[in-house]
Amino acid sequence: MTQVSVRGLIMRGWLLLVAVIVVAVAGFSVYRLHGMFGSHHDESIDSDISSEITPFNPKEVVLEVFGTPGAVATINYLDVNAAPHQVVDATLPWSYTIRTTQPAVIANVVAQGDNAFIGCRINVNGVVTDERVVNRVAAYTFCLDKSS
């Protein structure tokens, strides 16, 4: 038979008692801190304010390509989601309008015409933000506005 010492039982019991006290004090402290900052209160306040999000800053971005009337151009542009599109042999003048409430829109248009004169313009809410005109054979131009 093995002999159990009283001293060994007291030492084991003492360590267990200290561990239980530490866990209890830590749990109580966390509970009190949650109460102080109100993180466990799930109160809902009724109000007449709608939870519907309304557009706060609508934008109208117009991409334009112009040149000699009747001339044609290959036009590449980005839509409202920044997806690329291409229009082959578009008759000039050409325009594309983007209407959005997104905080920012990247407006980009690239065009190459079959004539010696071509230009592009980006209008944001009626204000010209970029414009370029080129006069050379097989004219190529681009307009970019990242700040819209």
Predicted confidence band of residue 74 (pLDDT cuts 50, 70, 90): very high
What does the DSSP 8-state code read for residue 35? H
- Of 4, 22, 3, nearest in space to 14 by CA: 22
Q: Is pTM, for the whole model, over 0.75?
A: no
Say how far apart CA 32 and CA 47 lie, in whole Å: 30
Say how far apart CA 52 and CA 63 lie, in whole Å: 31
**pLDDT value at position 139?**
87
Q: What is the pLDDT of residues 107-146, one digit of tens each?
A: 999 999 988 899 999 999 999 999 999 998 888 999 998 8
Say how far apart CA 40 and CA 96 lie, in whole Å: 52
- Written as six digits, the tokens of 45 are 């306040």
- Domain membership of residue 13 (yes or no) is yes
- Domain membership of residue 29 (yes or no) is yes
Instruction: Give me the domain span that covers residue 130.
Output: 59-145
Say how far apart CA 122 and CA 109 lie, in whole Å: 8
Q: Are residues 93 and 140 in the same domain?
A: yes
List the beta bridge partners of residue 115. Answer: none
- Of 105, 99, 96, nearest in space to 73 by CA: 96
Q: What is the pLDDT of residues 20-72, one digit of tens each?
A: 899 999 988 888 777 666 655 555 555 555 566 665 778 899 999 999 888 99
- Domain membership of residue 78 (yes or no) is yes
- Domain membership of residue 133 (yes or no) is yes
